[in-house]
Chains A and B, each alone.
Chain A
Amino acid sequence: MPSAPQRPLDLFAIDHLLSEEERAMRDVVRAYVDAQIKPRVAGWFESGEIPARELALELGELGVLGMHLEGYDCAGTSAVAYGLACMELEAGDSGIRSLVSVQGSLAMYAIHAFGSDEQKATWLPRMAAGSAIGCFGLTEADFGSNPSGMRTNAKRDGDDWILNGSKMWITNGNIADVAVVWAQTDDGIRGFVVPTDSPGFTANAIHMKMSLRASVTSELVFTDIRLPGSAMLPGVKGLKGPLSCLNEARFGILFGTMGAARDCLETAISYSIDREQFDKPIASYQLTQKKLADMALELGKGTLLALHLGRLKDEHLIRPEQISVGKLNNAREALNIARECRGILGGNGITLEYPIIRHMNNLESVYTYEGTNEMHTLVVGEALTGIAAYR
């Protein structure tokens, strides 16, 4: 008589490392994802459309949007609680977690950290509630890993700014009410808060994606957009502005990827126990058990790493190269886990009846966005040797 199966993360007693409050927040997001996201997301992925406005309002009501920011109707939680929320959201779908990351960690964080009082008061409460959606324009078609080469520029015209250029791979672009756009100026790279109804602002949806289909991805085009002087983010100059925002979002990815991996592994374990071949469950074969055990180890190690980095972040001790360690490891291992789980499900693994290939395809994006695997490898390499190999 087999004993009752344990969940993979129970092997690591992860809950023992969380406070009651952190567990309560995690449980709320998990319950929301189970009830509202998981039953519907395969359909969104299939059709390539998501009810983003409706979801943003629901997520705003829970308090997920900008949850780790203080004031302006944001919940003001710990970084660990934010990470745990990302984990549960991405156990639903990386696209939903991306919506939340871009809203909270990129757009809201940029305004919160570098904005004027007026910019904060205008946008943050509405963005926390989900009634306004934000996007973040840094990457360009020809400048991904090397954003310093960006061509988008803002030129002074009296007190105003005139913004020209384009941005690529912008999550939430077509549904956003406001874009935080980084542009070259005579004074270096500066950030601008651009309402998307500004004349000269165009967003083009990117179609024919095979990944993050339950997420809006866009190209933004700026043609002589006239912005008042007050549109510039006053608090930061140079690339450290956008890069600090990316560190916030990457931090959520450390946890999020482990959520997607957990959902894949739990699905594969349950499938392998039910699925019989040669008159016994495939879970009873040693080849399957080795796969499951190896994946559980990587899932547990990645989750422990994410929690450790989360505690460092809450103590304001975390360094950018440590976030690279986490992003590099966890995105890579999550993708490996998803692929291995896909194999365990055989033909069933390629359908949207099960979440695995959806997670697997999503993780292909997560593997390269927010810093490619290669860039994070070189950041870690630089930390170990003192030599920057990417220049």
Chain B
Amino acid sequence: MKIAVCVKQVPDTWAEKKLRSDDSTLDREAADGVMNELDEYAVEEALKLQEAHGGEITIITMGPERAGETVRKALSMGADAAVHLVDDSLHGSDALATSYALATILTGRDFDLVFFGSESTDARMSVVPAMVAERLGVAQLTFAQKVDVDGTSVTIQRVTDYGFETVVANMPAVVSVVEKINEPRYPSFKGIMAAKKKPVETLSTVDAGLEGSQLGLAAAWTVVEDFAARPPKAAGTIVTDEGDGGVKLAEFLATQKFI
């Protein structure tokens, strides 16, 4: 089985995120980069399927040169090879451009399954997996909390607000995962040392056969007109209990529409 896992380097989850003053894009230099947390679950799920069914795992990422750290982390966890699309012209690409680039790289590589984390912690749109599936013309199985592969089909439990749905599709298919699905492993020291020797194919947009007109900030379908820092936290309301604390709390919750 051939599995691709699309991963993204994002600013450290706990770091304060900033936008650049010149073009209003995310300032990726302002914080340490880490692998998007949900993507670790995607890598783990691919590794588990590989352990059960054999095959090869390829990591796919697009991002600046330092995103190579995230590629190496995925390889340290146990993936076999990677493709890294890196090009200045990708800067500012929106979800449509990202899905175009990823789908173009995936096309012709004959993957049975393409895994994604169900969202990135920086953009939080959850649309790229669906867009990539659409562009590839294959089934999309999103928000999976369980994945099973049987012969030529893949079955997932898709998390909904009310429980889960069981969804089955023929492979190839795109699967996005939620954090309930597994517990990602730590890279082992042997894995970290072996990662250095694993093949990483570095592609420019030209190498990947991408049209420049569909990429980057200029091609984005949305524009950030203006932004402002979040205002500092306002002081909370202090409820003094004079025998009626419970009622006051309930009234507060009601005015905030919590109850």
Where the two chains meet, the residues of A that have a C-beta atom closer than 8 Å to any C-beta of B are 20-21, 24-25, 28, 31-32, 61-64, 67, 75-77, 81
CB distance from B69 to the nearest CB of A (A): 7
Determine the chain B residues whose CB is within 8 A of the CB of A81 once the complex forms: 189
Q: How far is the CA of A65 from the CA of B95 in the complex (A)?
A: 44
Inter-subunit contact B73/A24 (CB<8 Å): yes
Where the two chains meet, the residues of B that have a C-beta atom closer than 8 Å to any C-beta of A are 69, 72-73, 76, 186-193, 196
Inter-subunit contact A25/B186 (CB<8 Å): no
Q: How far is the CA of A360 from the CA of B28 in the complex (A)?
A: 39
Determine the chain B residues whose CB is within 8 A of the CB of A20 once the complex forms: 69, 72
Q: How far is the CA of A81 from the CA of B190 in the complex (A)?
A: 12
Partner of B190, one of A24, A32, A75: A75
Inter-subunit contact A62/B69 (CB<8 Å): no
CB distance from B63 to the nearest CB of A (A): 16
Inter-subunit contact A28/B193 (CB<8 Å): no
Residue among B187, B192, B193 with most chain A CB within 10 A: B192
Determine the chain A residues whose CB is within 8 A of the CB of B186 once the complex forms: 28, 31-32, 61-62
Having A20-B72, A63-B191, one finds 15 other A-B pairs with CB under 8 Å, namely A20-B69, A21-B192, A21-B193, A24-B72, A24-B73, A24-B192, A28-B187, A28-B192, A32-B186, A62-B186, A63-B189, A67-B189, A75-B188, A75-B190, A81-B189
Inter-subunit contact A77/B189 (CB<8 Å): yes
Q: How far is the CA of A31 from the CA of B185 in the complex (A)?
A: 11
CB distance from B229 to the nearest CB of A (A): 13
Inter-subunit contact A64/B69 (CB<8 Å): no
In the assembled complex, 17 residue pairs joining A and B whose CB atoms fall closer than 8 Å, in A order, are A20-B69, A20-B72, A21-B193, A24-B76, A25-B189, A25-B192, A28-B187, A28-B189, A61-B188, A62-B186, A62-B188, A62-B189, A63-B189, A75-B189, A75-B193, A76-B193, A77-B193
Nearest 8 interchain pairs by C-beta: A63-B189, A75-B189, A63-B188, A24-B192, A75-B190, A28-B186, A63-B190, A67-B189
Q: From DSSP, what is the main secondary structure of chain A's interface residues?
A: helix
Q: How far is the CA of A64 from the CA of B72 in the complex (A)?
A: 19
Residue among A32, A62, A81 with most chain B CB within 10 A: A62
CB distance from B192 to the nearest CB of A (A): 5
Q: How far is the CA of A67 from the CA of B193 in the complex (A)?
A: 11
Determine the chain B residues whose CB is within 8 A of the CB of A31 once the complex forms: 186
Residue of B nearest to A23 (CB): B69
Determine the chain A residues whose CB is within 8 A of the CB of B187 once the complex forms: 24, 28
Q: How far is the CA of A306 from the CA of B189 in the complex (A)?
A: 21
Determine the chain B residues whose CB is within 8 A of the CB of A64 once the complex forms: 189
CB distance from A61 to the nearest CB of B (A): 7
Determine the chain A residues whose CB is within 8 A of the CB of B191 once the complex forms: 63
Residue of A nearest to B188 (CB): A63
Determine the chain A residues whose CB is within 8 A of the CB of B196 once the complex forms: 21
Residue of B nearest to A68 (CB): B189
Residue of B nearest to A75 (CB): B189
Determine the chain B residues whose CB is within 8 A of the CB of A75 once the complex forms: 188-190, 193
Determine the chain B residues whose CB is within 8 A of the CB of A76 once the complex forms: 193
Determine the chain B residues whose CB is within 8 A of the CB of A28 once the complex forms: 186-189, 192
Residue among A20, A28, A61, A64 with most chain B CB within 10 A: A28
Determine the chain A residues whose CB is within 8 A of the CB of B192 once the complex forms: 21, 24-25, 28
Q: How far is the CA of A62 from the CA of B76 in the complex (A)?
A: 11
CB distance from B208 to the nearest CB of A (A): 25
Residue of A nearest to B34 (CB): A27
Q: How far is the CA of A62 from the CA of B188 in the complex (A)?
A: 4
Q: How far is the CA of A32 from the CA of B187 in the complex (A)?
A: 10
Determine the chain A residues whose CB is within 8 A of the CB of B188 once the complex forms: 28, 61-63, 75
Q: How far is the CA of A157 from the CA of B116 in the complex (A)?
A: 66
CB distance from A107 to the nearest CB of B (A): 19
